[in-house]
Structure 1
Amino acid sequence: MPVNLFNDSALQLADAELDFKPHWLEPATADRWLALLLAQTPWQQPQVRLYGRQYPVPRLVAWYGDAEASYRYSGLIHRPLAWTPLLAEIRARLVATLGQPLNGVLLNYYRDGQDSMGWHSDDEAELGANPLVASLNLGATRRFDLRRKGQSRIEHSLALNHGSLLVMSGTTQHYWQHQVAKTRTLCAPRLNLTFRLIRSPA
């Protein structure tokens, strides 16, 4: 069943189901969560292999989830860290909002404008036929771009601000890619939590 949380904020893109709530989280809670997560998370910077060479990913990451929720992306298998009380609280609030289970979360820490996420789709086999990705944004506002698969032109951009929630579901990952590009604009740290449902663990 399609997720349709916010009828007044659904983005009208063909072959996509996107819902954006810019003020999903009240500012005081967003501030508290950001400070605690930045301080408590054991951040890592894994290496990925491109064209025969190893490169560090341009951001810091951590993967949490249920014990069986291993997740493969960028050629790496990520074994989940156990839920912290705070991440369990955030998951419970999202599950109540979505009405759907979530068993893993990828934390991405963008330290400044040079940290980024390249073009990709969240279409790994573990996420099932029509993946649900709930993206909670804390800290600095960063631009989130969308383009059709096979195309180079950006068709839509969103400003993902402090306390906002973006939900991608349905066939979105079949037809669309997204990125968070580098920027020369001075910007404060940003934390992005993408909650998922791992259907067939890696």
Structure 2
Amino acid sequence: MADNKRQRARIQGSWAAPPSKGKARGRPTGPGPGSKPPSRPGPNPNAVSMTSKTPETTTSPTTKGQSDCLPQTLTFTETGPIRRIPEPKEIVKDGSYVISVEPGGEARITLTRDFLLPEEADYVFATLRDEIPWAQKQNCIQGQTFDEPRLTCWFGEYPYAYTKVRWEKNTDWNETLLYVKSRIEEKTGQTFNSCLLNYYRSGKDHVSWHSDDEPSLGSKPAIASVSLGDSRTFEMRKKPPPEENGDYTYTEKLKIPLTHGSLLMMEGASQDDWQHQIPREYHDRDARINLTFRTIFPE
């Protein structure tokens, strides 16, 4: 019977000699002092290695202290990659920026922070605040009528309309406004025949996401925006592709602090492919006036 057990153990490859009689359990059984160390057997030419060669394209499992060995660009779940919400990029330096090149073509913005010197900007702000016939228009979105959270005024050779707001032509230009218009045209080489003015009385006043893409503005309109008064953050977000069904969660976003006397130009596909807003703020903000010069075509 004992011979049969030893035969099965040899076949299974796990045979070991039984412990010698008289040895206490747990007591070392190695060679005693003065004995020679056992000789190491040479390699067995018939042995089969249990370690397979890992292909170069295979990624090793993550272990503690080795997480940087794995690619960090995408994380996968059973249903596919996890999409990360992009952080808004902030533009604070003067210059011209190409913010996208598709699908409508090249979209450009140009920031000039000190377009008007501080004393000049102070004068223009105070004059327009006191001389412009500001009005609060009513708008309607999704059947809900509301007072726009800002005051506005329109100057232009033709009427202008957006959503449910309509302005009649107004050629009685304010002289200070004409001065700013001439300065912009001299700097940019563009010409404008109209201006929409916005007066933000505090941080509660704002304008929601929109694009200036009305048909009366023509294709690829150039819009010059001058900021006066307290600084506000101008935000932009890229329109999502059709397969996103209007979901802006993962689109590119920009933040541009607009300071007293600054000029922001939006050109190319900036209205076709992007939206912009001045968000409501929940801390104290003083008044701000925004002048948006544009070219209107007869409808």
Q: TM-score of the superposition, structure 1-length normalised?
A: 0.91
| Alignment counterpart, residue 60 of structure 1, candidates 146, 151, 156 | 151
Regions of 4+ moved over 3 Å = none
**Which residue number corresponds to residue 17 of structure 1?**
108
The structural deviation recorded for 1:76 is 2.1
**Which residue number corresponds to residue 76 of structure 1?**
165
Identity %: 37
Q: 5+ residue gaps in structure 1?
A: 1-6
In the alignment, residue 10 of structure 1 is paired with which amino acid?
S
Q: TM-score of the superposition, structure 2-length normalised?
A: 0.62
Aligned partners of 2:229 and 2:259 also within 8 Å: yes
Distance in 2 (alpha carbons) for counterparts of 1:179 and 1:95: 24
For residues 11-56 of structure 1, the C-alpha deviation after alignment (integer angstroms, 9 at most, x for no partner) is 2411311000011111110000000000001111111112323100
Higher relative contact order (CA 8 A, sep 6+): 1
The structural deviation recorded for 1:103 is 0.4
**Which residue number corresponds to residue 31 of structure 1?**
122
Q: For the aligned residues, what is the CA RMSD? A: 1.5
Does residue 1:103 correspond to 2:193, yes or no?
Answer: yes
Aligned partners of 1:145 and 1:154 also within 8 Å: no
Matching of residues 1-202 of structure 1 within 5 Å: 9-15=95-101, 16-66=107-157, 69-81=158-170, 82-150=172-240, 151-152=248-249, 153=251, 155-201=253-299
The structural deviation recorded for 1:8 is 5.8
In the alignment, residue 78 of structure 1 is paired with which amino acid?
W
Aligned partners of 1:127 and 1:200 also within 8 Å: no
Aligned partners of 2:113 and 2:262 also within 8 Å: yes
Given the superposition, is the C-alpha separation of residues 154 and 37 from structure 1 closer, same or farther in structure 2, using an over 3 Å criterion? Answer: farther
Aligned partners of 1:65 and 1:105 also within 8 Å: yes
Kindly name which structure, 1 or 2, has the bigger radius of gyration based on alpha carbons: 2
Distance in 1 (alpha carbons) for counterparts of 2:192 and 2:291: 12
In the alignment, residue 168 of structure 2 is paired with which amino acid?
R
Q: 5+ residue gaps in structure 2?
A: 1-92, 102-106, 241-247
